[in-house]
Amino acid sequence: MGGQREHFGPIVRESEEPVFHSRPEGRVLGISGFVLALVGGNLDAFRFATERLPREVYMSGYYRRMLGGCENLLVRIGYLGPDEVEARLEGRQAAPSQRRSSRWRLVATTQAMRRLQRPTLPRWVCAHVLPRVFGSSRPTLRRPRFMVGDSIRVRAHQAVGHTRQPGYVTGKPGVVTAHLGATLLPDAHAEFRRARPEHLYTVAFDGRDLWGEAAEPATEVRVDLYEPYLEPA
């Protein structure tokens, strides 16, 4: 949970844990995949939709959070009216949304999802083609600003709205350990704004720089961070 103290707690492990604890969990996973396909695989927008849930919903469980994110996203892009789901659950009328997908698009999306759930594609297609078609990986002509081994500092502020810059590394020093190519900047992509590809790096942080002398000895944390988040040390 981003290193926030209020979220610290034990991780409960189940022996012989099932894939799903109930049928609704599987249904929610299927729904989320379909909703992601409707928005072109924009996972950043989906994450942003879950972040805007009320705290009690967000903290109530993984699949409840996922379902709430789907609803928020469908309202945001116009497939659901703001009060449509609650009205149907309560048996009352609500103003429907103005946006309705064509039947051919729904059929095409359904067929594509069925095929992707049971892929028989070559490994190189899954590793190099699908991330660019359905993900946010993009090439860029701009040279990376940082190299492996460079000392950096995370900028002292966070973007307003969605960001992949964790609060607990904001303003902290680190060392670049890997360059991961370029992807669309989530801060803009999550809001369906024009997002250019930005270089992505893995940065290593010494535990003492994050938590002071109270940190466990020899602790290192590695975080993937985008170039606009970083400054030369």
- Looking at residue 135, its pLDDT comes to 75
For 15, which DSSP code?
A: T
Q: Find residue 202's DSSP bridge partners.
A: 178, 224
pLDDT of res. 86: 86
- Residue-range domains of the chain with CATH: 5-100 (1.10.472.20), 151-232 (2.30.30.50)
Q: Quick check: 33 and 113 in contact, CB under 8 A?
A: yes
pLDDT at 2 over 70: no
How far apart are alpha carbons 124 and 112 in whole angstroms? 19
Residue 64 vs residue 133, higher pLDDT: 64
pLDDT tens for each residue of 75-98: 988 888 888 888 888 888 877 666
Per-residue pLDDT for 163 more than 80? yes
CB distance 207 to 221 below 8 Å: yes
Q: How many CB atoms lie within 10 A of CB 231?
A: 13
**Alpha-carbon radius of gyration of the chain:** 21
Alpha carbons 92 and 176: distance in angstroms, whole number? 56
**Structure confidence at residue 230 (pLDDT):** 98
Structural contact between residues 202 and 176, judged by C-beta atoms closer than 8 angstroms: yes
What one-character DSSP code corresponds to residue 128? I
Give the pLDDT score at 126: 77
At 16-36, the pLDDT tens digits run: 999 999 999 999 998 998 898
- With tokens 């698009």, the residue in question is 105
Split at pLDDT 50, 70, 90, the class of 172 is very high
pLDDT one-digit tens code per residue, 117-154: 666 778 888 777 777 767 788 889 999 999 999 999 99
User: What pLDDT is attached to residue 156?
Assistant: 96
pLDDT of residue 99: 61
Cα–Cα nearest to 30, from 109, 99, 102, 137: 109
